[in-house]
Amino acid sequence: MSLLRCRQTAEKHINQLSPEVLKVIEGYVAGINAFAKAFPSKVLVKNSFPMTVLDYLTGYNLVIHFFSDTGDMLGALLSNSNKSVDEELEEKTIGSNAFAFSRSIMKHNKTVLNVNTHQPLEGPFSWYEAHLNSDEGWNILGGLFPGSPFPMIGTNEHLGWTHTYNYPDLTDLYELKINPKNKNQYWLDGKWVSFENASVKLKMKTKIGLKLGVKRKLQWSVFGPVIKNKKGTYAFYSNAFENISSIDQWYKMGKASSWKEFESALKMMSVPRFNLMYADRDDSIFYMSIGRVPERSINSERINGVMKGERSEILQKGYLSYESLPKLLNPAHGYLFNTNNSPYNSAHKDDNLKAQDFEDFQLGFKESENNRSQRFMDLKAKKESLSMNDFFDIKYDIQYPDSLWTPSGANIVFSVDKDSYPDLIEVIAPIHEWNKRADTFNIGAAQWAIYYQNFLDLSSKGYEPLMRMEKALLATKKHLKKYFGRYDIALRDYQVHHRGNKRLAVPGLTDMIAAMTSKPFENGTAKPMHGESYIMIIQYTDDNVEIETVLPYGNSRNAAGKNYTDQMEKYAKQERKKMTLDKAEVIANAIKHYHPK
């Protein structure tokens, strides 16, 4: 946090936030301070309360760094990563689906928005659900991460939106020339210039439990924080070094009551990234690939993504405008979609944007297509118009396309002759016979899932594809034999949705439309950790909003509470609960009422 100057960013930009959003943050901070005081045993980090608004915004800026690729940049500089872009995207399980269908193609004449984020099922980036209703007319239901003062996706009485992750080029990397006679200087504009130096005291704990205070030197250049590795000295710049105003934009998006007001909020251009999918009661649908992308000179002299940091004139001069980014409003064929795929494939082929129209903006999108985008296109091509049953068939699809996308090369297993591997035929055969579906009773899905993870785990070993496949299959065979005593297990035997005393079978695998990515759990099984998380289905008419939602577990992390696991059965059965924005209905059906006074 010290290297990224989160506190300085919060101090510098706090006065640029609107009074309205500052009041919301003040109320949120007052609430968590009161809770921490009343329940000190629930405080996980000692001396972190009471919190101030400035403390809150310091932490918020750190989250914006997470969403602005700062972590990826630091990781690449420190680890010398050399994976291909496609392999990086394959291994990243950050993802989501978003679909919007206009009344022109919905048989029941309602506008439909699919809010279907694929986030971690637990942890700091898992979803809570909240409904806010204020006397000034703010009435919004949606999802928020722990620490958010209001929903960041969802719907109000007029309109709704959701996000999926996108991958534009958000950061600039500079290689610095160091003075051989003074390591504290770098070459800039024809002369040696000194770094800005600071030190931070870190608390460390040794293996024997001894606590130590260690000082760490930090350096900054005009290009940003400085990182040294075996290849040289580098600095990088990110929009997060000057961004806390995205919280204001999300606030205004949630307060909007029309497309015009919503678009006005979008034009603030402070949300760091994300695809956006929108729909409203007026039957407008909209898609945009958002990003605070640096406005780069066409002659920026980037070589393999790196610029020589020797001239101040190559510093970025701002960010691309709203008008510069890919977007589509009300396409002729009546639908929009995004599955973390290319922004140039978000609609019917005749409605799609053209990549060449955006070349001069140097957006640098990494994403192309994936299994979910291909599967969506396959399913939509079969239906010119949709019933809600058709919609749910797409939304909950658990079938891979015939051309299974695995940039790592894992799908090589489908092309080998199983008879050439007699010692592995027990695991190759069910994979070859697999129909590429992930129903809970399916045989082949678990075998593929175990093999696939083993294959990915071998990425750093440098094996040739066939050798890597063989080792992954051998590990799969040993796993099945050790934990299950047989090779023909069904997915339900392996993938277990677990919390408290509940254990449920759930369908889906990584990068299916109804995605489920699992990690090792106990006794050879795997627990879903990422994928289908907060699900919200919204249907709009001229005068009404119909809402259904579900969370993977429940809306609480209190293991002794009723809401800890109360949505698990619906989630596992691909069902949802009905929700409403009607305050009177909410109060009438409430189990408990609370007011701080």
| pLDDT tens, residue by residue, 555-564 | 999 999 999 9
More confident residue, 161 or 204: 161
Total residues belonging to the chain: 597
266 within 8 A of 288, measured Cβ to Cβ: yes
**High-pLDDT (> 90) share of the chain, %:** 81
Domains annotated on the chain, with CATH = 1-66 (1.10.439.10), 94-170+242-302+315-395 (3.60.20.10), 172-237 (2.30.120.10), 410-497 (no CATH)
Nearest-angstrom CA–CA distance, 98 and 114: 5
Nearest-angstrom CA–CA distance, 234 and 284: 46
Q: Does the structure show a pLDDT above 80 at 299?
A: no
Q: Which phi and psi (to 5°) does residue 100 adopt?
A: -135, 130
Q: Does the structure show a pLDDT above 90 at 212?
A: no
Q: Does the structure show a pLDDT above 60 at 76?
A: yes
3-state secondary structure of 550: strand
Q: Which phi and psi (to 5°) does residue 564 adopt?
A: -75, -35
Q: Does the structure show a pLDDT above 90 at 510?
A: yes
- Alpha-helical (H) ranges within 410-464 are 425-432, 445-457
Q: Which phi and psi (to 5°) does residue 536 adopt?
A: -135, 120
Q: Does the structure show a pLDDT above 80 at 135?
A: yes
What pLDDT digit, counting tens, does each position of 371-389 carry?
Answer: 999 999 999 999 999 999 9
Element (H, E) at 275: strand 273-280
Residue 543 pLDDT: 95
Across the chain, what does the average pLDDT equal?
92
At what angle are helices 445-457 and 425-432 packed, to 10 degrees?
Answer: 120
Q: Does the structure show a pLDDT above 50 at 349?
A: yes
Give the pLDDT band (50/70/90) at residue 509: very high
Nearest-angstrom CA–CA distance, 328 and 467: 46
Residue that is written with structure tokens 């978003």 in the block: 98
- As a whole number, mean pLDDT of residues 236-259 equals 95
Residue 203 pLDDT: 57
3-state secondary structure of 526: strand
- As a whole number, mean pLDDT of residues 207-229 equals 76
Quick one: which of 546, 436, 446, 426 has its CA closest to 491?
446
- As a whole number, mean pLDDT of residues 521-532 equals 96
Nearest-angstrom CA–CA distance, 22 and 294: 27
- As a whole number, mean pLDDT of residues 257-272 equals 97
Nearest-angstrom CA–CA distance, 38 and 26: 18
Residue 134 pLDDT: 93
Nearest-angstrom CA–CA distance, 292 and 171: 9
**High-pLDDT (> 70) share of the chain, %:** 94
Residue 209 pLDDT: 54
Q: Does the structure show a pLDDT above 60 at 204?
A: no
Token pair recorded at residue 194: 């000194």
Q: Does the structure show a pLDDT above 50 at 480?
A: yes
How far is the first Cα of the chain from the last one, in angstroms, to the nearest whole number? Answer: 37
Other Cβ atoms closer than 10 A to 326: 25
Residue 298 pLDDT: 63
Residue 82 pLDDT: 45
Residue 23 pLDDT: 97
503 within 8 A of 452, measured Cβ to Cβ: no
Nearest-angstrom CA–CA distance, 111 and 582: 20
Token pair recorded at residue 257: 């009551």
Q: Does the structure show a pLDDT above 70 at 87?
A: no
Nearest-angstrom CA–CA distance, 445 and 573: 18
93 exposed, middle or buried (CB, 10 Å; 0-12, 13-18, 19+)? middle
Residue 595 pLDDT: 81
Q: What is the value of pTM for the model shown? A: 0.93
3-state secondary structure of 542: coil
Give the pLDDT band (50/70/90) at residue 597: confident
384 exposed, middle or buried (CB, 10 Å; 0-12, 13-18, 19+)? exposed
